[in-house]
Amino acid sequence: MNICLNDKIFEMLSAIVTKDSIKAWIIGGYVRDHLLHRDHPEKDIDIVVVGNGIDFARKAAKAMGPGIKVSIFRNFGTAMFRYGDYDLEFVGARKESYNRESRKPVVTTGTLEDDQRRRDFTINALAVSLNRETFGELLDPFNGISDLNAKIIRTPLDPGITFSDDPLRMMRAIRFAVQLNFTIEETTFKSIASNAERIRIVSKERIIEELNKIIMCDNPSRGFILLEKSGLLKIIFPELDSLKGVEKKEGKAHKDNFIHSVRVLDNISSNTSNMWLRWAALLHDIAKPVTKKYDSESGWSFHGHEFLGGKMIPDIFRKLKLPLNEKMKYVKKLVDLHLRPIALSQEVVTDSAVRRLLFEAGDDIDDLMLLCEADITSRNEATRKKHLENFGLVRNKLREIEEKDAVRNFKPPVDGSEIIRTFMIKPGREVGIIKNAIRDAILDGIIPNEHEAARKLMIDKGQELGLTPQDESPEPNIQ
Ligand code: CTP
């Protein structure tokens, strides 16, 4: 079988290979995606050569243009450079697999087939020749094409060997299955289940990269269900694993919160490609197991799971090696607030409650509403419709109040420095009390969101605290 390599970059590489009588092939993801007609966002091309990959990368860079900078990773025996839109990675064919966690340099060189054998999956072991006389020829000693057509993830070797070479491959199997909508062949999957413990030797950074890729799939629930079934989930993410299961008391059962959470993740994934909003969906009920209570009158409850869930986020992010920055705060905020719009849809809604939610959610209010709508997982069409209609009312109310009061990005019309200047006091407890009183009065609709009214309240509140204004006519706070 021949593959049509019509990009000029392959011609260039072929010319270099032929000139120096080097044996080289394109291998891995590029070949797989090309055969699947899959548009890959990153144009990574892996090239394997018999001999020294680093030397060949240097040669190729020199021949392909002036000023190309080659990055060398001696520990992995690889080198790469960028050419146009492409990232080219070069590696020498090896007989034994290297351990990606190891710092030991790769030494054992081998043939192309040796190299293909030590790759992760048959569909990733397909190689296409760059050599002039065989240009475009597909080398498929492990039946990758047949697995590609049958949509199967299978290891070229006994899966126990492939997975012990690099246990991250167990997660990659699941990620590819979900990303490509493939099935993991039975022996391969059984081997993941029996080798799951070995994932512990893989760095958290590599694990989270795969987890994020699963989250970004169209149907991420399938990935999490496979992670759970294989036993990987309880090792890499025990908090999520402990959401699973249904308990029944006196004939009353609660829903399986793991299944619910991954369905919410699927729901939101059809409306957003914001990875952090997807994370918030996955984690919104994370504190349900620790807040679960049963009462024979009222049944199962999970009181306060939203606040406790919010509190758990920094620790979960730290453990998973997710960033401890604004993204984490955003997820925490959405978890914290995820029941608030529901509350607004159930009771007679006061303007003040809507204003408070707008103030707390700020610019993330639209994402919060998406999360709440995704949280409806009832299979009963009438119930779904009713909840969605209620959220529609909440959205209208939010729009109305936002137009009227503009509290979404609330900035107090009287700030801390004006309070300090007016009473000639030092920053401290009183400043906080006055600021909170002004904020609460505005959010509760007691005073308008304007400087004059806020200043009057500041004076009154200050006097209650025994403070006397020293400066009666300061510059108004320009907003
Ligand atoms: N590979 C492997 N074992 C790993 C990682 C990678 O055998 N743990 C091999 C596979 O042949 C793979 C190639 O190296 O196709 C390139 O790896 P990578 O760039 O991580 O993956 P791709 O297959 O290109 O897919 P994607 O870009 O979607 O991750």
Model confidence pLDDT, tens digit, residues 355-389: 999 999 999 999 999 999 999 998 889 998 988 88
Ligand 1 nearest atom to the CA of residue 168, by list position: 8
pLDDT above 60 for 477: no
Domains of the chain in start order, with CATH, are: 8-144 (3.30.460.10), 151-236 (1.10.110.30), 416-464 (no CATH)
DSSP-derived pairing of the beta strands 86-92 and 43-49: parallel
Looking up tokens 């055969």 gives 35
Q: Is 128 helix (H, G, I), strand (E, B) or coil?
A: strand
Alpha helical stretches, state H, 339-428: 340-346, 351-361, 365-374, 381-405, 416-423
pLDDT tens, position by position, 404-430:
877 777 788 999 999 999 999 999 999
Asked if residue 44 has its Cβ within 6 Å of ligand 1, the reply is yes
Write down the pLDDT at residue 478.
Answer: 47
Q: Is 478 exposed, middle or buried (0-12, 13-18, 19+ CB in 10 A)?
A: exposed
With the CA atoms of 442, 445, 450 and 452 taken in that order, what torsion angle do they form, in degrees rounded to the nearest 10? -90
Q: Do the beta carbons of residue 435 and residue 419 sit within 8 Å?
A: yes
- 222: part of which helix (H) or strand (E)? helix 220-230
What are 76-107's pLDDT values in tens digits?
Answer: 889 999 998 899 999 999 987 656 666 565 56
Average pLDDT on 29-46 reads 87
State in Å: Cα 28 to ligand 1 middle: 6
Predicted TM-score of the model (pTM): 0.89
Ligand 1: residue whose CA is nearest its atom 23: 29
Among protein residues, the one with the nearest Cα to ligand 1's atom 13 is 28
- For the segment 12-24, the average pLDDT, to the nearest whole number, is 92
Q: Reply yes or no on whether the pLDDT at 392 is more than 60.
A: yes
Phi and psi angles of residue 395, each rounded to the nearest 5 degrees, phi first: -60, -45
Sign of CA dihedral 26, 30, 32, 36: negative
Q: How many CB atoms lie under 10 A from the CB of residue 304?
A: 13
Judge whether 393 and 341 are in contact, CB under 8 Å.
no
| CA atoms 56, 59, 62, 65: torsion sign | negative
Interatomic CA distance for residues 442 and 450, integer angstroms: 9
What is the number of the ligand 1 atom nearest to the C-alpha of 125? 11
Cβ of 124 closer than 6 Å to ligand 1, yes or no, is yes
Q: Which candidate, 434, 479, 478, 477, places its Cα nearest to that of 459?
A: 434
- To test the ligand 1 pocket, which listed residue (124, 147, 164, 178) has its Cβ within 8 A of the most ligand atoms? 124
Nearest atom in ligand 1 to the alpha carbon of residue 169 is 8
Mean pLDDT, rounded, for 448-473: 89
Contact by Cβ (8 Å): 70, 60: no
Q: Is the pLDDT of residue 19 over 90?
A: no
CA of 29 to the centre of ligand 1 (A): 6
Atom 27 of ligand 1, nearest CA residue: 29
Residue 177 sits at the vertex; the CA angle it makes with 171 and 179, to the nearest 5 degrees, is 100
